[in-house]
Amino acid sequence: MPKTIIISNRLPIKVQRTEEGLAYETSEGGLATGLGSIYKQGHNVWIGWPGTYFEDEAEEKQVHDDLSKQSMLPVFLTESEIRDYYEGFSNETLWPTFHYFSQYAVYEDAYWQAYQTVNQKFCDAVMEAAEPGDTIWIHDYQLLLLPELLREELPKSSIGFFQHIPFPSFEVFRLLPWREQILRGMLGADLIGFHTYDDARHFLSSVSRIVGLNTAQGLIDNGYRHIMVDAFPMGIDYDKYAALADSPETKAKIEEYRAALPDQKIVLSIDRLDYSKGIPQRLQAYELFLKEHPEFLGKVTLSMLVVPSRDQVEKYRQLKETIDELVGRINSSFRTITWNPIQYFYRSFPIEELSALYCVADIALVTPMRDGMNLVCKEFIASKLDHKGVLILSEMAGASRELADAILINPNDLGQIVRSLHEALTMPEEEQMLRMEHMQDLVRRYNIHHWVEIFMNRLEYIKVKQMSMATEYLSEEESTQLAENFKKANQRMLFLDYDGTLTSFKKDPTHAFPDEELLEILRCLAQDPKNRLVIVSGRDRNTLHKWLGHLPVDFIAEHGVWLKKHEGEWEMLQHLSDAWKTEVRPIMELHVSRTPGSFIEEKDFSLVWHYRKVDPTLAELRARELSNYLMFMAANINLQVMEGDKIVEVKNVEVNKGIGTTRWLEQFPHDLILCIGDDRTDEDMFSVMPEEAFTIKVGSARSHARFSLDNSQEVRKLLKALCE
Beta bridge partners of 371: 397
Same fold, 238-446 and 472-574+655-723: yes
Enter the pTM of the model.
Answer: 0.81
Whether the pLDDT of residue 288 is over 90: the answer is: yes
pLDDT at residue 42, as a whole number: 67
Strand duo 21-26 + 13-18: pairing: antiparallel
Whether the pLDDT of residue 33 is over 70: the answer is: no
- Picking from 31, 33, 14, 35, the residue whose alpha carbon sits closest to that of residue 23 is 14
pLDDT confidence band for 699 (50 / 70 / 90): confident
Question: How far is 91 from 85, CA to CA, in rounded Å?
Answer: 8
Task: Of 20-34, 540-554, 627-641, give the lowest mean pLDDT range.
Answer: 20-34
Q: Phi/psi at 127 (nearest 5 deg)?
A: -60, -30
pLDDT at residue 139, as a whole number: 96
What percent of the chain has pLDDT above 70? 98
Domain ranges for the chain, please list them: 4-231, 238-446, 472-574+655-723, 581-652
Strand duo 531-536 + 492-496: pairing: parallel
Cβ atoms within 10 Å, residue 455: 18
DSSP 210: I
pLDDT tens digits, one per residue of 357-387: 999 999 999 999 999 989 999 999 999 999 9
CB neighbour list of residue 451: distance below 8 Å, 6 or more residues apart: 34, 232, 233, 234, 235
Task: Of 31-40, 294-303, 426-435, 692-701, give the lowest mean pLDDT range.
Answer: 31-40
pLDDT at residue 216, as a whole number: 75
Strand duo 363-366 + 390-394: pairing: parallel
The CATH code that applies to domain 581-652 is 3.30.70.1020
Cβ atoms within 10 Å, residue 134: 20
pLDDT at residue 102, as a whole number: 94
- Picking from 464, 33, 92, the residue whose alpha carbon sits closest to that of residue 239 is 33
Residue bearing the bigger pLDDT, 691 or 41: 691
Strand duo 647-652 + 554-557: pairing: unpaired
Q: Which residues are catalytic?
A: 497
pLDDT at residue 34, as a whole number: 63
Q: In angstroms, what CA-CA distances link 222 with 104, 466, 569, 697?
A: 33, 12, 41, 16
Question: How far is 430 from 434, CA to CA, in rounded Å?
Answer: 6
pLDDT, averaged across the chain = 91
Buried b (16+ CB within 10 A) or exposed e, 644-677: bebbbbbbbebbbbbbbbbebbeeeebebbbbbb
pLDDT confidence band for 36 (50 / 70 / 90): low
pLDDT at residue 656, as a whole number: 85
Whether the pLDDT of residue 122 is over 90: the answer is: yes
- Helix (H) or strand (E) holding 267, with range, is strand 265-272
- Picking from 300, 361, 306, 354, the residue whose alpha carbon sits closest to that of residue 330 is 300
Strand duo 672-677 + 363-366: pairing: unpaired
Question: How far is 472 from 470, CA to CA, in rounded Å?
Answer: 7
Type of residue at 24: Y
CB neighbour list of residue 170: distance below 8 Å, 6 or more residues apart: 202, 205, 206, 209, 210
Question: How far is 248 from 455, CA to CA, in rounded Å?
Answer: 35
- Helix (H) or strand (E) holding 15, with range, is strand 13-18
Whether the pLDDT of residue 576 is over 70: the answer is: yes
pLDDT tens digits, one per residue of 202-223: 999 999 889 988 787 788 988 7
pLDDT, mean of residues 419-445: 96
The CATH T-level fold of domain 4-231 is Rossmann fold (3.40.50)
Q: For residue 535, count CB atoms less than 10 angstroms from its CB and return exposed for 0-12, middle for 13-18, buried for 19 or more.
A: buried
388 neighbors 361 (Cβ within 8 angstroms): no
Q: In angstroms, what CA-CA distances link 170 with 102, 175, 202, 207, 691?
A: 13, 9, 6, 9, 43
- Picking from 549, 522, 627, the residue whose alpha carbon sits closest to that of residue 204 is 627
Rounded to 5°, the CA angle 50-53-58 comes to 90
Report the chain's terminal Cα–Cα distance, integer Å: 51
pLDDT at residue 31, as a whole number: 67
pLDDT tens digits, one per residue of 460-493: 999 988 887 778 888 888 899 999 999 999 999 9
Question: How far is 185 from 8, CA to CA, in rounded Å?
Answer: 15
657 neighbors 560 (Cβ within 8 angstroms): yes
389 conformational bin, left if phi > 0, alpha if psi -120 to 50, beta if neither: left
The CATH code that applies to domain 238-446 is 3.40.50.2000
CATH class for domain 472-574+655-723? alpha beta
Whether the pLDDT of residue 20 is over 70: the answer is: yes
Question: How far is 158 from 514, CA to CA, in rounded Å?
Answer: 44
